[in-house]
Structure 1
Amino acid sequence: MLAVVALLVAGLAGAPPARPATTWVRVADGVAYRWKDLPSPRGTARAHLLSVDLDRAGVSLGLLYPGAVAARSALSSLADGAAAVGGVNGDFFHLTETQHPGVPATGAPVGPAVADGRALKAAVPRAQRYGPALPPGANARQVWGVGTDGTARLGELTLDGAVSSAAGAWPLGGLNQYALAEGSVGLFTSDWGSAPRARAVCGSDARRDAPCVSDAYEVTVRAGRVVSAASAPGGGTIPDGTLVLVGREKGADRLRELAVGERVRVRYGLVAAGGGAPFRFAVGGFPVLRGGAPVPGLDGTVAAVRTAAGIGESGRRVWLLALDGSPGFRDGLTLAELAGVLAGLGASEAVNLDGGGSSTLVARDAGASAVRVLNHPSGGAQRPVPNGVGVFAGG
């Protein structure tokens, strides 16, 4: 186990204290903070770290989000709202929309998300994702999280769903996603939020900047029956118990077959590849470390401010990392360097999360009721994010 020393309030100040970088500062029983300088010929980067012992009674991790998939908030607000003692930002997301005039950015994450065992969303098509280029073998369905057995792990979540009517059944191609695959039907639930659904029919399976399609259709289902239909995706909050189906191309043709008043059954869920305990929480991120070794093909050239999560001790120890974005430090690490840092901590598995202006790590002072930001976000202030990983402790 890592050595943990008594909490010193100065250790959680806006700038780390002048003490050896090997010193861990207690945040709560089973949770500790430290900073670590990472010198290199390119300059020195500073990593801010939270160590989380999942074997400690009352310690857990969970998804932080603003109550809707397509919404954003500062990480500190998300952590305080959930009574977390610490946390980092999560998945890459639909931050800007310059390629489709008149279509607003949704703020929705790229990958799958699970909160308290409930499927919130599935992954967008690979060509429609935001974030750095994926390493060989990676995909947008990859996640990390904690299962119902209390063990942290990496995984892959695939949407398993279907729409059934008297005319037959066809598979769902999306769940609360800002982009749908060509020819598919996507489902939007009350978890989506109030953002317009227009972006779902823009782009293609090959290009994120491909035009929005005019061949689209939307159907609203309530209490198992079609209650309305429209020739374009709409917007506004979806009430509890109401489902909205959006189709493009062949998917739109399928929805046009449904008449108002017709009975329709919709089922959906996220299935983990390889089995294992169901995820209690999961958030999108691509692997940089497996079996204690860097994933083959990681970029070793482009440095960036990054956020990551490492897993060790058979899934019972987690390290959350966010780099400092202050101009006083090197402008980040390459993915290959990031994998090396996490392996050096003792992680055997690790994922890269959203970075740049999103990279934020927060924790509480002893006895405080609110967290504070411990790194310096590269934009000078917290960037609102759609989700994060919260650290919870009973004492």
Structure 2
Amino acid sequence: MKLRFGRVRAVLTVLVAWGVLAGGAVAGGGPATAAPDTLRRSDAVPVAPGVEYEEFRMTVPRGTVHGHLLTVDLADPRVSTDLLYPGAVGARSPVSELADARDAVGAVNGDFFHISETQHPGVEPTGAPVGPAVSSGRRLKGAVPDGQRFGPAMPPGATTEDVIGVGHDGRARLDRLALRGAVRTAEGQLPLRGLNQYALPVDGIGAYTERWGPASRVRATCGTDTDRAAPCSTRTAEVTVRHGRVAAIEERPGGGGVEPGSVVLVGREEGARRLSALHVGEPVSISHRLVGRSPGPLRFAVGGFPIVRSGQPVAGVDTVTVAVRTAAGTGEGGRVLYLMALDGASGQTGLTVRELAELMARLGARDALDLDGGGSSTLVTREPYDPEVTVRNHPSGGMERPVPNAIGVFSHDD
């Protein structure tokens, strides 16, 4: 993969000047976090039918913020979106590779993920994302417990179940996807508390399908619902269900891919006790679904946490930590999708989460979600007839970081 950073740049022109923010309050609660600043946006450049790309620069007291924006017209019948992922939940690839594999015309990185594991010696990071994931209408995974997430602190009221996505009606929205499922046995019904997750709730049972991939399932039994660093559970069990019957029972979770037609159940504490009571050959059925708060299923969904609601920054978001950031927002009744990533080149500054929320609102988002940032922040576009995408921003690590998923944009001429 040949990576080309910022091959074509539009000439920046001043389109709008922001008013004074310092010394007053901003609607939505809390004091303003930035001094007087200006937003200078380039002319929008068509990427494909219904998709435009632009750059912007913003001056804040500590320096210059450089960002990249994709504006996606979901009302255009030639446009569609989907969640890109590397074929397994517990795997990672650079955004450019994810986009090239699906011929996407644009993409940004997605959810926060299980990137490190220093608290539990011998346990490897899975690379799996934090929140729910839906791709092409297929549910890939549920959300880990709030205390097991990676990333900046969430504002009050947010959970790991929060997502942004696009429904089968073609409208983008923020939603919240809760896992509902059960394991039915001859002795009764067991609640299913996880689907392809790197962390399970205490006392819970989780299901792992072939979409999980080869990553180890040991991490699922470490930490607690409120403390990611808590020790791994001493009471665990793993049951392999093949074609509707128990095929194997083990005391410890394993690794390696799950065979098609099979489901691996992992339990901890009370969940492990109940799985251990099963017998080889016993019939078992497993069901699961992701249930949203809004009507209609999402064709794709990716996790993050809300930063803008009804055009106003969410109260309680971080106002201190400055970082390179990625966000996705919706506008015009869900008919427009905004995908934004900051540039991580040396000499440029980032934003606090509060400043990010203010920025997304001014770019047009009525609702917006914070996605993974730092070295993960990546935005790519594909020029017409080009077999490879262009990485438009400079990832802060000097090269693309492999990530578990990305929001992909597609467009066709007819």
Is TM-score (shorter-chain normalized) higher than 0.5?
yes
Deviation string 1:85-139 (CA, Å, 9 cap, x unpaired) is 0100000000111110001000000000001111100000010000000001111
| Deviation at residue 345 of structure 1 after TM alignment | 1.3
Instruction: Output the amino acid matched with 1:290.
Output: R
Q: Which runs of 5+ in 2 are unaligned?
A: 14-40
Partner of 2:347 in structure 1?
328
Instruction: Output the amino acid matched with 1:259.
Output: H
Partner of 1:18 in structure 2?
11
Instruction: Output the amino acid matched with 1:315.
Output: G
Counterpart secondary structure, 1:108 = coil
Q: Does 1:199 align with 2:219?
A: yes
Q: Does 1:174 align with 2:176?
A: no
Listed as ranges, the matches of 1:88-167 within 5 Å are 88-167=108-187
Aligned counterpart in structure 2 of residue 254 of structure 1, from 274, 295, 298: 274
Contact 2:10 2:54 in 1 (8 A): no
Q: Does 1:299 align with 2:321?
A: no
Aligned counterpart in structure 2 of residue 281 of structure 1, from 300, 305, 312: 300
TM-score, with structure 2 as normaliser: 0.91
| Deviation at residue 170 of structure 1 after TM alignment | 1.6
| Deviation at residue 57 of structure 1 after TM alignment | 2.1
Aligned counterpart in structure 1 of residue 335 of structure 2, from 316, 319, 327: 316
The separation in 2 between residues aligned to 1:257 and 1:19, in whole angstroms, is 66
Aligned counterpart in structure 1 of residue 99 of structure 2, from 58, 79, 89: 79
Q: Does 1:351 align with 2:356?
A: no
The separation in 1 between residues aligned to 2:153 and 2:128, in whole angstroms, is 19
Counterpart secondary structure, 2:166 = strand
Counterpart secondary structure, 2:108 = strand
Contact 2:6 2:393 in 1 (8 A): no
Contact 1:84 1:391 in 2 (8 A): yes
Contact 1:14 1:375 in 2 (8 A): no
Partner of 1:4 in structure 2?
none
The separation in 2 between residues aligned to 1:206 and 1:365, in whole angstroms, is 45
Q: Does 1:377 align with 2:370?
A: no
Deviation string 1:327-351 (CA, Å, 9 cap, x unpaired) is 1211x10111111111111110000
Contact 1:197 1:233 in 2 (8 A): yes
RMSD, matched Cα: 1.2
Instruction: Output the amino acid matched with 2:305.
Output: F
Partner of 1:340 in structure 2?
358
Instruction: Output the amino acid matched with 1:16.
Output: R
| Deviation at residue 60 of structure 1 after TM alignment | 1.0
Instruction: Output the amino acid matched with 1:69.
Output: V
Contact 2:244 2:284 in 1 (8 A): yes
Instruction: Output the amino acid matched with 1:299.
Output: D
Deviation string 1:58-95 (CA, Å, 9 cap, x unpaired) is 10110000000000001000000011001000000001
Contact 1:57 1:394 in 2 (8 A): no
The separation in 1 between residues aligned to 2:50 and 2:78, in whole angstroms, is 9
Deviation string 1:214-272 (CA, Å, 9 cap, x unpaired) is 21000000111000010100110111110000000000001011100001111011000
| Deviation at residue 369 of structure 1 after TM alignment | 1.7
Contact 2:89 2:212 in 1 (8 A): yes
Deviation string 1:162-201 (CA, Å, 9 cap, x unpaired) is 0111111021010000001110101000000000100000
| Deviation at residue 205 of structure 1 after TM alignment | 1.6
Bigger Cα displacement from structure 2, 20-29 vs 370-379 = 20-29
The separation in 1 between residues aligned to 2:230 and 2:121, in whole angstroms, is 12
Partner of 1:361 in structure 2?
379
Instruction: Output the amino acid matched with 1:344.
Output: R
Aligned counterpart in structure 1 of residue 77 of structure 2, from 57, 60, 64: 57
Counterpart secondary structure, 1:190 = coil
Instruction: Output the amino acid matched with 2:280.
Output: V
The separation in 1 between residues aligned to 2:64 and 2:12, in whole angstroms, is 17
The separation in 2 between residues aligned to 1:58 and 1:280, in whole angstroms, is 16
Counterpart secondary structure, 1:245 = strand
Q: Which runs of 5+ in 1 are unaligned?
A: 1-11
Partner of 2:37 in structure 1?
none
Deviation string 1:341-388 (CA, Å, 9 cap, x unpaired) is 111111100000000000000001222121110000000000000000
Counterpart secondary structure, 2:403 = coil
Q: Does 1:37 align with 2:30?
A: no
| Deviation at residue 15 of structure 1 after TM alignment | 6.3
Paired residues, what number? 383
TM-score, with structure 1 as normaliser: 0.95
| Deviation at residue 312 of structure 1 after TM alignment | 0.2
Partner of 2:30 in structure 1?
none
Deviating above 3 A after TM superposition, structure 1's stretches of 4 or more consecutive aligned residues are: 12-15
Contact 2:10 2:55 in 1 (8 A): no
